[in-house]
Amino acid sequence: MNSQGRDSTPHSVSVTGDVVTFTGNKALQQEEALIFELDNPGAVGVDLPEPVTTKTRLGGLSPRPGVGLPQLAEPDVVRHYTRLSQKNFAIDTTMYPLGSCTMKHNPRLNEKMARLPGFGDIHPMQPVETVQGALELIDQLAYWLKTLTGMPAVAMSPGAGAHGELCGLMAIHAALDARGESHRRRVLVPESAHGTNPATAAFCGFTVDTIPAEENGRVSVEAVKAKLGDDVACIMLTNPNTCGLFEPQIKEIADAVHAAGGYFYCDGANYNAIVGRVRPADLGVDAMHINLHKTFSTPHGGGGPGSGPVVLSEALAPFAPLPFVVHGKDGFDLIEHAKDAGKAQPFGRLKGFHGQMGMFVRALAYMLSHGADGLRQVASDAVLNANYVLASLKDVMSASFEGPCMHEALFDDRFLKGTGVTPLDFAKAMIDEGYHPMTMYFPLVVHGALLIEPTETESKRTLDQFIGTMRHLAQKAIAGDLAHFQAAPRLTPRKRLDETQAARKPVLRWVKPAPQAVVAQAAE
Amino acid sequence: MRYLPLTDADRSSMLATIGVDSVDALFRDVPDHAKLPGKIAGLPDHMGELAVERHLSRLAAKNVTASTVPFFVGAGAYKHHVPASVDQILLRGEFLTSYTPYQPEVTQGTLQYLFEFQTQVALLTGMDVANASMYDGATGTAEAVLMAARVNKRNKVILSGGLHPHYREVVETTCGIMGMDIRAQAPDWKNAEDLAALLDAETSCVVVQTPSLFGHLRDFTALCDAAHAKGVMVIVVVTEVVSLGLLPSPGSMGADIVVCEGQSIGNGLNFGGPYVGLFATRDKFVRQMPGRLCGQTVDADGKRGFVLTLSTREQHIRREKATSNICTNSGLCALAFTIHLSLLGEQGLVGLARINHANAVTLADKLSGIKGVSVVNDGFFNEFTVKLPKKAAKIVSKLAAKDILAGVPVSRLYPDVEGLDDLLLIAATEINSVEDMDALVRGLEEVL
């Protein structure tokens, strides 16, 4: 290793014929050490003022001897993280058709608005009279969410979609307890559901009863009715479902569950497909979380933060968690405690403060930009793009279901049968072509699933190029060029990574290497 | 419709390829009664960028921002200066607009910074391993309580009276529904609590906070020893993570799980979110740890690389047997944390912690000089409790009217507890100048 933590000997020639360089770098593709290996003792990346006093009042504790952090000046830190950024696919750099994740364009206006000091630089515990604009923004966003979904109430605080699921199921739990029906502890979950659904139900102390999918990828009202009983708390259904299909019997299913005394939880991860065209209230939904980071374009940031407000029916509204915004006599007020909640019976608190305010600003900016007319067009274009992909590929790749699909197109691995190419190999070959792969092996109801979600922010030109690439790869696989797929990806900073080793012998942090002398001594 | 690239000509040609004559035909599975015919009543049509900016800027202008007034509000969220380069890097599209790193070959950037983040968190907390972040400190604390129950299969939980009451409520809500027996202690504003006496063979864990909500400091070594002798896990919560630059690490005191709110490093106040929960534990508990983990491995050429790992603990594999239902982390907030901490480095973090403490000592001395005002704490980091001769909530309101944000009245956090009305939590950080402090002192003298 040289002083920058990089190899100081040339890399060997690999079988794929890579060009060798002294540093391991390849023009813009730079090797980057861990920040700890770049430690430059004595350097610092900030200028801090001198303390105004050297007096301490630590209540008898001794100051800590040290932390062990590396030291770098600002240019080295900026370069380090900029180089890391260049090792990422992102929706800004490539089409990202990751099914069920809704990777759409993230408008920069939203970022600019969230960074207004009036939103970014206010404290959750400031006096409410000093944050009236923030409370008004939350109220406006709540209004949009309620109006779009047709639901009377919304809980704003959940920190992500799965957290929203938890919120919805806790509201159902509380409502059942209030009805004196605490014996209702069974939750019906289709086998195609997101893994978070059964995990959430179990988290709330419910037992999970799985509903098998029909041949056509849907849940049938008969299958649901067969499971109903007076111990059913609710059904958790995703609509449009994870096969990319609208559940045509959804209202009948909701009615049957209601007639049996249960509630209907809708997983709203796929709301993007129907926003502005279908109101969940008209489908009989009692609770549905809305992933602001999917439908309303707040950026995913490599996995978060998300935001998962939950719209609620009249029956569940009183149980919404604390805190919430109300219209007070002197402007907006924040209800932080059950004793101030009037007739409401909040089931508790889900998050440290009031929710993901930064995401609220971004989502409202997006809603205002699109308006009601634009959001309806969002759903139309998302569905049109997915169906265009489905129609253009179904002769070379095996479509799992006849169309139309909603905002994502589901294929499976039948077209790869006998080729030796796995969906994973196929996905890795897409990477070399400059695309982030689609979602693989989900949903579980079809074998070797390939779930493609283009979203509404892809142009026809991009879709045509993508379709051309997919056709080329499919034909290449069918023609028997197995080696091409098994060697992919060739052009990435790293080749395929050994995930088994990572799990068997977990290395979850950097540890400072022992000094050479100590190592030598230990070896003697 | 500037975010939608399809033209009407594109749409027509695509519909022809699909073989339908309208988009409506693609929605044929939607029952007719549920189809919205056209516009939704009560919502406006689309607005241009200028109009959206004006609308939101008007709302933003109604708020009093922390940077523009003397500002001493803490209680779990702290105003610190964040270097400009942090946000500039966050705004890079390759970080901002990427997804969970499911394809490691093209997400080494995200994976490597998560690995660096995990290492930094382990170092700060004095623990062996950390995860790739939680939603926030409060949700992380609830997950820690559930994790302790998985480890020792016990049901009783003791929550210190020094724990932030919002954290207590999140634990009560989240773990209560799992049927856990949660015993929350009375607000420990005098730092007199004896938790060791409450532990028994049924106790799963005890949750303590340092600095406590009221700003008190304690050495938890004896508590950890007493707890471990009874098989009880100790969860240490830190809501002001900058304090770890000066105070002994929870790991050095014997903590089993450490949870922090990481907002203070790299992340703004944002009216309460998004924030970033830090979560660290001992090696032996790693398979019971919730949340995402990034691990080091090698690629097909033997080069070092990183992947998400140990996901067999997680919801997408174990479904109803999952350790938690979490399927995300606070990636971008963790990135902000990791960049800011890298800029600070060893010297910078220690220096920042010392300035925070020095400002708080200076402010406490100044406030002690006001007639009728006393500082409750013997020791503190950058936040302490003062006892006022009048109701703190009224004083805070009067000072807000003078554009001084003085702190958090304890009664706002404990509306049901008698005898706390005259207590005020006051935080000082590196942003507070001597002029700010003098403005607070003068303001207090005027309204008392």
C-alpha distances in angstroms, B337 versus A94, A204, B276, B442?
27, 32, 8, 36
Give percent of chain B with pLDDT exceeding 90: 94
How many CB atoms neighbour CB B48 within 10 A? 11
Spatial neighbors of A156 by CB under 8 A, at least 6 apart, are A138, A141, A142, A309, A324, A325, A354, A355, A360
With tokens 């479902």, the residue in question is: A241
* Coarse DSSP helix, strand, coil percentages of chain B, rounded to the nearest 5 percent: 45, 15, 40
Closest CA to B82 of B261, B273, B264: B264
At residue B328, what are phi and psi to the nearest 5 degrees? -145, 175
**Phi, psi values for residue B395, rounded to 5°:** -65, -45
- For residues A191 and B196, what is the distance between their CA atoms, to the nearest angstrom? 47
Cβ pair A506:B310 closer than 8 A: yes
A480, amino acid identity: G
Cα-trace Rg, chain B? 25
Predicted confidence at residue B39, as pLDDT, reads 81
User: How far separated are the first and last CA of chain A, in Å rounded?
Assistant: 24
Question: pTM for this structure?
Answer: 0.96
A67 and B309: CB-CB below 8 Å? no
Residue showing tokens 């695509």: B14
3-class SS of residue B59:
helix
Verify whether the Cβ–Cβ distance A200 to B325 is below 8 Å.
yes
At A17 the pLDDT is 56
Q: Using CB atoms, which residue from A35, A116, A498 is nearest to B57? A: A116
B61 with A64: Cβ contact below 8 A: no
Query: What is the least distance, in Å, from the CA of B233 to any CA of chain A?
Result: 21
Tell which of B56, B218, B265, B434 to mutate to test the A interface (max A CBs under 10 Å).
B56
Same domain membership, residue B250 and residue B133? yes
Q: What is chain A's length?
A: 524
Let me know: does A310 contact A288? Beta carbons within 8 Å.
Answer: yes
Distance from CA of A417 to the nearest CA of B (A): 23
Residue B2 lies in a domain: no
Q: Where residue A13 falls among pLDDT bands split at 50, 70, 90?
A: very low
How much is the mean pLDDT over chain A? 93
Q: CA of A82 to nearest chain B CA: how many angstroms apart?
A: 7
Tell which of B12, B39, B40 to mutate to test the A interface (max A CBs under 10 Å): B40
Secondary structure, 3-state, A193-250: CCCHHHHHHHHCCCEEEEECCCCCCCCCHHHHHHHCCCCEEEEEEECCCCCCCCCCCH
Q: Which of B291, B318, B341 is the last residue of a domain?
A: B341
Residue among B386, B145, B137, B448 nearest B267 (CA):
B137
Task: Indicate whether B329 and B381 sit together in one domain.
Answer: no
Average pLDDT on B55-67 reads 98
Structure confidence at residue A394 (pLDDT): 96
What's residue A196's pLDDT?
86
Structure-block tokens of residue A137: 């923004």
- CATH code of the domain in which B371 resides: 3.90.1150.10
Q: What percent of chain B has pLDDT over 70?
A: 98
- pLDDT, residue B236, reads 98
What is the percentage of chain A residues whose pLDDT exceeds 70? 95
Integer Cα distance of A154 and A176 in angstroms = 19
Say yes or no to pLDDT of A106 above 60: yes
Instruction: Give pLDDT, residue A101.
Output: 92
Q: Look up tokens 């142009």; give the residue.
A: A459
**Residue A246 pLDDT > 60:** yes
The nearest CA of chain B is from the CA of A160 a distance in Å of 7
Q: Are B108 and B306 in contact (CB under 8 A)?
A: yes
What ipTM was reported for this prediction? 0.97
CA-nearest residue to A38 within chain B is B342
Asked if residue B18 has pLDDT above 70, the reply is yes
For residues B375 and B270, state if they share a domain.
Answer: no
Residues B139 and B214 in one domain: yes
Which pLDDT belongs to residue A281?
97
Tens of pLDDT, residues A253-284: 999 999 999 999 999 999 999 999 999 999 99
Produce one character per residue of B178-196: b if its CB has 16 or more CB atoms within 10 Å, e if not.
Answer: eebebebbebbbebebebb
What residues does A278 pair with on adjacent strands? B35
- Nearest alpha carbon to residue A353 among B250, B261, B352: B261
What pLDDT, on a 0 to 100 scale, did the predictor assign at position B315? 57
If asked whether residues B366 and B441 sit together in one domain, one would say: yes
User: Is B72 domain-assigned?
Assistant: no
B284 and B370 belong to one structural domain: no
* B5 in a structural domain: no
Say whether B96 and A90 touch across the interface (CB within 8 A).
Answer: yes
Q: How far apart are CA A211 and CA A236, in angstroms?
A: 10
Does an H or E element contain A464, and which?
helix A460-478
B280 & B132 share domain:
yes
Which backbone phi and psi does A349 adopt, to 5 degrees?
Answer: -135, 140
- A36-89 confidence digits (pLDDT tens): 999 999 999 999 999 989 999 999 999 999 999 999 999 999 999 999 999 999
Count other Cβ atoms within 10 Å, centred on residue B316.
16
With vertex at residue A386, the alpha carbon angle to CA A380 and CA A387, rounded to the nearest 5 degrees, is: 85
If we measure between CA atoms, which residue out of B113, B220, B228, B104 comes closest to residue B162? B220
- Chain A CB contacts of B354 under 8 Å are 51
**Which range has the worst mean pLDDT, A160-174, A261-275, B158-172, B308-322?**
B308-322
Among A237, A297, A290, A305, smallest CA distance to A266 is for: A237
Domain count, chain B: 2
B337 inside domain: yes
Closest residue to A90, CB basis, from B98, B270, B352: B98
Judge: A457–B61 Cβ closer than 8 Å, yes or no.
Answer: no
At residue B243's C-alpha, the angle toward residues B238 and B244, to 5°, is 80
SS3 state of residue B295: strand
Angle (CA) A346 A352 A356, round 5°: 95
A524 falls in which pLDDT band (50, 70, 90)? low
Q: Are residues B331 and B360 in the same domain?
A: no
**β-bridge partners, A409:** A452
CATH code of residue B185: 3.40.640.10
Q: Is the pLDDT of residue A128 over 90?
A: yes
Print the domain residue range for B153: 84-341
Alpha-carbon distance B197 to nearest alpha carbon in chain A (angstroms)? 22
- Pairwise CB contact (< 8 Å): B271 & A132: no
Q: What is the pLDDT of residues A158-169, one digit of tens each?
A: 999 999 999 999
Pair (B354, B265) in one structural domain = no
* pLDDT interval class at B50 (50, 70, 90): very high
d(C-alpha B207, C-alpha B186), whole Å: 13
Residue of B nearest to A116 (CA): B60
Q: For residue B153, is it within any domain?
A: yes
A479 φ, ψ to 5°? -75, -10
Question: Which of A111, A332, A362, A494 to probe by mutation at the B interface, max B CB count within 10 Å?
Answer: A494
- pLDDT per position as a tens digit, B195-206: 999 999 999 999
Co-location of B313 and B195 in the same domain:
yes
Give the residue from B341, B375, B405 where a domain finishes: B341
Considering the domain boundaries, does residue B34 fall inside one?
A: no
The burial of B256, by beta-carbon neighbours within 10 Å (0-12 exposed, 13-18 middle, 19 or more buried), is given as buried
**A410-438: b (≥16 Cβ within 10 Å) or e:** bbbbebbeebebbbbbbbbbbbbbebbbb
* pLDDT for residue A517: 65
Nearest Cα residue to B251 out of B347, B118, B124, B145: B124
Give the integer Cα–Cα distance in Å for A189 and A208.
7
List B307's β-bridge partners, or say none.
B295
* pLDDT tens by residue, B236-268: 999 999 999 999 999 999 999 999 999 999 999
pLDDT for B421 beyond 60: yes
Tell me the pLDDT tens digit for each residue of B215-242: 999 999 999 999 999 999 999 999 999 9
Do B315 and B295 fall within a single domain? yes
User: Would you place residue B173 in the very low, low, confident or very high pLDDT band (cuts 50, 70, 90)?
Assistant: very high
Of B290, B319, B341, the domain-final residue: B341
Residue of A nearest to B122 (CA): A509
Going through B355-428 in order, the beta strands assigned E by DSSP cover 374-375, 383-387, 408-409, 423-427
**By CA distance, what is A34's nearest residue in B?**
B116
Residues B91-144 have pLDDT tens digits of: 999 999 999 999 999 999 999 999 999 999 999 999 999 999 999 999 999 999
Rounded Cα distance between A220 and A253, Å, is 8
Predicted local confidence at residue A1, as pLDDT: 41
Contact A346, A156 (CB under 8 A): no
**Contact between residue A428 and residue A489 where contact means Cβ atoms under 8 Å apart:** yes
Report the pLDDT value the prediction gives residue A311, as an integer from 0 to 100.
Answer: 98
Of B88, B216, B305, the CB nearest to A494: B305
In this complex, do A124 and B269 lie within 8 Å of one another by their Cβ atoms? yes
Fill in the DSSP letter of residue A408: S
Question: Across the interface, do A122 and B271 touch by the CB < 8 Å criterion?
Answer: yes
Distance CA B149, CA B156 (A): 9
Q: Searching chain B, which residue's CA lies closest to the CA of residue A108?
A: B91
Q: What are phi and psi of B112, to 5 degrees?
A: -65, -40
Distance CA A282, CA A295 (A): 19
Whether residue B53 lies inside any domain: the answer is no
Whether the pLDDT of residue B74 is over 80: the answer is yes
In a domain, B103, yes or no: yes
On whether both B90 and B239 belong to a single domain, the answer is yes
Q: Do A90 and B97 touch (CB under 8 A)?
A: yes
Compute CA distances B278 → A350, B139, B295, whole Å.
Answer: 17, 10, 17
- For an interface test with B, which of A15, A126, A138 has the most B Cβ atoms less than 10 Å from its Cβ? A126
